[in-house]
Structure 1
């Protein structure tokens, strides 16, 4: 479904004395249709940059991204726009996805309107279907984002994404801003929806426990490179790379690991 080949991203700053920073260094990854790959690493490791490159929200310096066999790097802007609904992202902070001036109804209906996915008279029914899919109560439909909780806002943001019936989603730390009880509910919801719709998922997190719960494959990222890749049990229970072991040790010390 998604293939990243030899991706490198170098940022340059300065004019007379340019400084170059390598955010992603020669990374290759692939996710089969319906599969879930967890990208784990500390802040600044290049996870978010790689996730945005996978959607061609950021252009790589070098490398190729293929989605369902199509080379995204070769597409024109108009051709890329046609494929956009099939590839979506869920951000860490739902407020970045929601217009505070819109009601919840309007936030979810907006992509349906922009992409003309359903007839105007059918939009309300589709919005209510999406409400049900993400576990929102219908009485929230007329409220504004500031009138609902963080967990509810993330569900609204997820409903906006699902309105387009995407095949591939990048979930970039989607529960990091939520408390533990709400976090568990949202993660369970994402997992359930993935099974129902056969979603392909790139799940970005610094939390090893979440990655183990959500993904069937894990890639550990450090300083822009993949240092280890395999199954959650194989990597997280028997790490081969010293950096992976360091992450696990840190999780144990913070009592964040379920298996403790």
Structure 2
């Protein structure tokens, strides 16, 4: 469904002597329909940049992104617009997605208005339905974002995304700002919705525990490159790249691995 081929992204700095900062270095990935690909790596590895390139929120310096066989990197703005409903993103901080001056009702209604997806009566029926889908009570619709918890705000952000009936979602560290108990609830909700709707996900995180829970396959990113990719159990139990081995060992040493024995097998 999604194919990234030879994606490179660099930024230039300096006035007289231009220098290139390479953020993504010749990355190729594919994500099958209905699959969740976990993209894991340390901060600054290029994960978020690659995720936004996949949606063409950032232009690559070179390479192509294909969505259902269409090269979206070559589309004009007007032609790209027709794909926007089907390709959405969940940001790490829900406060970046929600207007503090709008009620929860209006935040969820905004995609309907922008895309003219429904009349007033149908929209009023859909909003409680979407809030229920993400585990929120309809009476929250009259509140403002500052009146609800972080977990509830992320659920509202998810409801906004689902309003457009996307088929591909980039989830960029969507629970990193939440408490652990709330994080588990939101992850379970997202996984349940993904399975029910057969959504295709690129799930970005630095947390291996979260990646293991959410992903069918894993791609490990280090210094702008994919150093290893494969089935979740294979990568986490039998890693072959040195960086992956160190990352998994560090997670085990910090007792972040569900309290289990070390999953790393290097034989």
TM range (shorter): over 0.9
CA deviation vs aligned residue, 1:222-241 (integer Å, no higher than 9, x gap): 00000000011111111100
* Other-structure match for 2:95: 95
2:44 & 2:83 partners in 1: Cα distance?
29
- Secondary structure (helix, strand or coil) at the match of 2:83 reads helix
Runs of 5+ consecutive residues of structure 1 not aligned to the other structure: none
What are the equivalent positions in structure 2 for 1:131-150 lying under 5 Å apart?
131-150=131-150
Which consecutive unaligned segments of at least 5 residues does structure 2 have? 262-267
1:13 aligns to what? 13
CA distance in 2 between counterparts of 1:233 and 1:83 reads 33
TM-score normalised to the size of structure 1? 0.99
Match of 1:191 in 2: 191
Residue 181 of structure 1, CA deviation: 0.4
Q: Indicate the residue corresponding to 2:213 in structure 1.
A: 213
SS in 2 for 1:141: helix
Q: How does 1:64-83 map to 2 (within 5 A)?
A: 64-83=64-83
Match of 1:60, SS state, is coil
Alignment of 1:1-260 (within 5 A): 1-258=1-258, 259-260=260-261
What secondary structure sits across from 1:33 in the alignment?
coil
1:19 Cα deviation after fit: 1.8
Task: Report deviation, 1:11.
Answer: 0.8
Q: Per-residue CA shift, 1:168-202, capped at 9, x if unaligned? A: 00000000000000000000000000011110000
State the 4+ residue runs in structure 1 displaced beyond 2 angstroms. Answer: none
Question: Secondary structure, in 3 states, of the residue corresponding to 1:165?
Answer: coil
Residue 265 of structure 2: aligned partner: none
- Provide the C-alpha distance between the structure 2 equivalents of 1:226 and 1:109, rounded to a whole number of angstroms: 38
SS at match of 1:83: helix
14-23 vs 46-55, which deviates more?
14-23
Q: State the shift of 1:139 in Å.
A: 1.5
Report Cα offsets for 1:9-54 as digits up to 9, x if no partner.
0111122121211100000000011011000000000000000000
SS in 2 for 1:56: coil
1:73 CA displacement: 1.1
Displacement after TM superposition at 1:122 (Å): 1.3
TM-score by length of 2: 0.96
